[in-house]
Amino acid sequence: MPDCRTRYPILLIHGLNRRDDCGPSYWGRVPDILRAQGARVYLSGQDAVGSIEDNALALRRRAREILTAEDCEKLNLIAHSKGGLEARFLISSLNMAPCIASLTTICTPHHGSQAAAVWLRRKVLCKLAGRALETGWKLAGDQSPDFERALAALTPDAMERFNRENPDSPLVYYQSWGARLDQAGWDLMDRAQLWLTKADGPTDGLVTPESAVWGRYRGTLVGISHQDSVDSRRRRPAAFSAEVFYTALVQELAELGF
């Protein structure tokens, strides 16, 4: 059996419009797979539609809880989608770099989304959708839901400012992966997402591979949707095995001394 025992615990950080403490698991089978192979894995629990800043504060509280519980000095962060931006804000703006060994981002829009800018211009629709989502997620546990603020932070202009204000720390190892969904087949969710993000060109259904590049870019997962890159739907697409991918990722972190 593979050995996924890393030097430091792993904190999985979810993305936008989902929580990881209610409903179907955001990370699918990934936490159980890694734990079965010796990894110490924790979930983040921040808001589904919170702002980057508010969610990063929640991540800081969560990180400190884990550091105390494990009696360790650092954590390995594995973050999906918008969660990668919250992790970067945690490291750079909340001064948590000394407590973070590595940050791995999966399908994170580091360079923004044209689709976010397009939808923000549809003010009435955006406001109506935002109110509905905020109401629903507050009932599910969100403390400070703010859909429009969360979406506005993902535009290319906003991300250009964010990147200037949140430079990488030399104390942290950064790596990233992107994904590209070449065709959606009969999957209605994938088809809808590809239509919603047509302003961006080829995407995983939400984020372009180019936008996902940060730190050491490890490559583009081809034929995989945004959700399937974290096993959210517990499917077994022909082009990707969550078990193989995340096991190899964590084993490599262990080999690097993290």
Q: Quickly state the pLDDT bin for 189 (edges 50, 70, 90).
A: low
| Residue 228 lies inside a defined structural domain of this protein | yes
Which residue type, as a one-letter code, is found at position 169?
S
Which residue type, as a one-letter code, is found at position 91?
I
| Residue 3 lies inside a defined structural domain of this protein | no
Q: Does 22 score more than 90 pLDDT?
A: no
Across the range 76-94, mean pLDDT stands at 98
**Domain around 213:** 10-255
- The CATH number that applies at residue 191 is 3.40.50.1820
| Residue 230 lies inside a defined structural domain of this protein | yes
Which of 122-131, 136-145, 152-161 is the least confident region?
122-131
| Residue 47 lies inside a defined structural domain of this protein | yes
Q: Does 188 score more than 80 pLDDT?
A: no
Domain count of the fold of the chain: 1
Contact present, 40 and 67 (Cβ < 8 Å): no
| Residue 5 lies inside a defined structural domain of this protein | no
- How far apart are alpha carbons 44 and 256 in whole angstroms? 24
Q: Does 206 score more than 80 pLDDT?
A: yes
| Residue 1 lies inside a defined structural domain of this protein | no
| Residue 205 lies inside a defined structural domain of this protein | yes
Q: Does 195 score more than 80 pLDDT?
A: no
Q: Does 2 score more than 80 pLDDT?
A: no
- How far apart are alpha carbons 218 and 134 in whole angstroms? 35
Residue 202 has a pLDDT of 85
- How far apart are alpha carbons 207 and 215 in whole angstroms? 17
- What is the 3-class SS of the chain, one letter each residue? CCCCCCCCCEEEECCCCCCCCCCCCCCCCHHHHHHHCCCCEEECCCCCCCCHHHHHHHHHHHHHHHHHHHCCCCEEEEEECCHHHHHHHHHHCCCCHHHEEEEEEECCCCCCCHHHHHHHHCHHHHHHHHHHHHHHHHHHCCCCCCHHHHHHCCCHHHHHHHHHHCCCCCCCEEEEEEEECCCCCCCHHHHHHHHHCHHHCCCCCCCCCCCCCCCEEEEEEECCCCCHHHCCCCCCCCCCCHHHHHHHHHHHHHHCCC
Residue 186 has a pLDDT of 58
In tens, the pLDDT along 25-39 reads 899 999 999 999 999
| Residue 4 lies inside a defined structural domain of this protein | no
Residue 121 has a pLDDT of 86
Q: Quickly state the pLDDT bin for 143 (edges 50, 70, 90).
A: very high
Residue 170 CB coordination number (10 Å): 7
Across the range 41-61, mean pLDDT stands at 97
Residue 216 has a pLDDT of 98
Torsion of CA 46, 52, 57, 59, to 10 degrees: 40
Share of the chain above pLDDT 70, in %: 95
Q: Which residues contact 248 (CB under 8 A, 6 or more apart)?
A: none
Which of 14-28, 113-127, 142-156, 239-253 is the least confident region?
113-127
Which of 104-113, 115-124, 129-138, 168-177 is the least confident region?
115-124
Residue 190 has a pLDDT of 67
pTM of the model: 0.94
- How far apart are alpha carbons 212 and 185 in whole angstroms? 24
Q: Does 210 score more than 80 pLDDT?
A: yes
Q: Does 174 score more than 70 pLDDT?
A: yes
* Helix 114-121 vs helix 123-140: crossing angle, to nearest 10: 110
- How far apart are alpha carbons 129 and 117 in whole angstroms? 15
Residue 13 has a pLDDT of 98
Rounded to the nearest integer, the mean pLDDT of the chain is 92
Q: Does 120 score more than 90 pLDDT?
A: no
